[in-house]
Amino acid sequence: MIWDFNIRIMRAACAVAIFATLTLFTGCAPNSLIIGLMPIEPKHHPTKFKETDSLQPLLKWAPLTIEAIKERGDKDADKISDITYDLRIWKVTNNFMDLPVYTRHSLTEPQHKVEIKLRPETDYFWSVRARYKLDGRTRITDWSFAPATYANQLTVSDVRNRIPPPYMYRFRTP
C-alpha cells in the first residue's frame, strides 16, 4: 500500500517537473497554461469530474485557428487546408488513465457527440488534437491537456485521496 502511494507521488512529481519545464520554455503563467485545444464543454477542472447530461455526451473544444498555427511557427499558415480533429476518451481506473474506450479521427467540427453509450456513473478523461495540411504535408498538433493547471491548489490531502492528475480534461457520466 505504501509502495503504491510512493509510486503515485513520484508520478505527481514528474508532472510538476514537466510543468515547470513547459513554463520555463513557454513563459506561460501557471493558471493559464493549456497545451493544444481548449476544452469548452465540459469545462476543465483539475480535481472535479463534471457530470454530463447523457451517456453519449457532447464534447466541445476551441477550433484550431490560423493565428494559433502562426504561433506554432508556421509562417505560411494562410495556406493551410483540411483542418480536422482526432478525439480520444479513456476510462478512469483507480484514478488513473486506462486504455482508450473511444477514438474518432477526421472530425470536421470542433465538437462531437459520442456515438456509443458510455458506462453510467463512470469517470473519463478526454483529449483532442488537430490535423491540417500545409504545403501538401499533414501536420498534427499535440494532444490537448492542461499540465498542472491549478496544481498549486492541490494539497497533500488531494494526493492521499488519489485525486487524478490535474492535467487531463475530464467528465463523469450520469
Question: Looking at the domain that runs over 2-172, which CATH code has it been given?
Answer: 2.60.40.10
Residue 147's CB is within 10 A of a number of other CB atoms, namely: 22
Question: 13 pLDDT exceeds 80?
Answer: no
Cα–Cα distance for residue pair 174/163, rounded to 1 Å: 20
Top pLDDT among 107 and 66 is at 107
Contact between residue 172 and residue 124 where contact means Cβ atoms under 8 Å apart: yes
Torsion angle defined by CA atoms of residues 35, 37, 42 and 43, in that order, rounded to the nearest 10 degrees: 50
pLDDT at position 146, please?
76
pTM exceeds 0.85 for this model: no
**Does residue 8 surpass a pLDDT of 60?**
no
104: helix, strand or coil: strand
The sheet with strand 58-61 has its strands ordered as: 39-41, 58-61, 111-113
